[in-house]
């Protein structure tokens, strides 16, 4: 097409020299009225090269790369959002360790068991087995989770897993320098998996106090 646009066949004429009135009589695309003037203008190889080369560079190397960049950025953004959620593998690991402290599936564990749970869970949920956290560090982490307290100084599975999911979100957002807003909802697959493991939900067993209130009271008690 570029070479056809720049061709200068014998007998062609420069359409720039054709008057405006004569241009009205030029044959239209696909034919025209009887007696119309044929479109037999000369091409310009310089103009053809300039147009088609600039078109190729602009479309192929600019817009195509821009489109690819948008697609890649979309995948990276989706990956970042996934990293800010409590993944299915992390939930399975949490369930596996939780069942060691709650083999009868009562849906709750004691506070001292929660501290052990936080020690065994890997970062960012807990500390992991490669680092031995002090009792003060464990209590501080438990306080930061702000888990509601049940009667008999127990914590519920649903409250714990939601608090850990929030921590995963906050840590991921902070590592990327992002402001922390309301965390995304848990994927439906994770909710279904959790419900299969524990059928019941916390109800009137809640005390109205949080784990942070309990640990603060215990710290004050040790001072007297």
Mention every residue, 6+ apart, whose C-beta is less than 8 A from residue 115.
135, 138, 139, 142
Global pTM value? 0.52
Domain-wise residue ranges, the chain: 2-83, 88-222
Question: What are residue 37's DSSP bridge partners?
Answer: 26
* pLDDT reported for residue 69: 85
Say if residue 142 is exposed, middle or buried (CB neighbours under 10 Å; 0-12, 13-18, 19+): buried
Q: Report yes or no: 161 and 145 within 8 Å, Cβ to Cβ.
A: no
Mention every residue, 6+ apart, whose C-beta is less than 8 A from residue 69.
none
Q: Report yes or no: 194 and 105 within 8 Å, Cβ to Cβ.
A: no
Architecture of domain 88-222: Orthogonal Bundle (1.10)
Q: Which residue has the tokens 């560090």?
A: 137
Cα torsion 97, 103, 107, 108: sign: negative
* pLDDT reported for residue 204: 44
- pLDDT tens for the chain, residues 1 to 224: 665 666 666 667 666 666 766 666 677 655 566 767 666 667 667 777 788 888 887 777 777 888 888 888 777 666 555 555 667 788 888 999 999 999 998 889 999 999 999 999 998 889 998 999 999 899 899 988 888 888 888 999 989 988 888 888 888 777 777 665 554 545 555 555 555 655 555 544 666 667 777 777 777 767 66
Q: How far apart are the first and last CA of the chain?
A: 93
């Amino acid at each position: 097409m570029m070479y056809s646009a720049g061709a200068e066949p014998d007998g062609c004429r420069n359409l720039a020299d054709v008057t405006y009135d004569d241009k009205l009589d030029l044959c239209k695309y696909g034919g025209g009225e009887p007696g119309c003037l044929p479109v037999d203008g000369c091409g310009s190889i310089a103009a053809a090269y300039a147009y088609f080369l600039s078109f190729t560079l602009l479309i192929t190397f600019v817009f195509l790369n821009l489109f690819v960049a948008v697609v890649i950025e979309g995948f990276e953004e989706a990956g970042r959002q996934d990293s800010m959620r409590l993944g299915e593998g992390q939930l399975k690991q949490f369930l596996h360790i939780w069942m060691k402290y709650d083999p009868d599936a009562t849906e709750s564990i004691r506070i001292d068991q929660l501290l052990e749970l936080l020690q065994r869970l890997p970062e960012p949920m807990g500390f992991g087995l490669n680092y031995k956290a002090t009792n003060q560090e464990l209590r501080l982490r438990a306080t930061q989770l702000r888990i509601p307290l049940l009667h008999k100084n127990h914590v519920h599975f649903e409250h714990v897993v939601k608090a850990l999911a929030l921590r995963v979100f906050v840590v991921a957002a902070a590592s990327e320098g992002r402001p922390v807003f309301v965390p995304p909802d848990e994927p439906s697959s994770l909710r279904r998996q959790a419900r299969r493991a524990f059928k019941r939900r916390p109800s009137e067993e809640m005390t109205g106090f949080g784990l942070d209130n309990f640990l603060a009271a215990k710290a004050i008690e040790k001072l007297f």
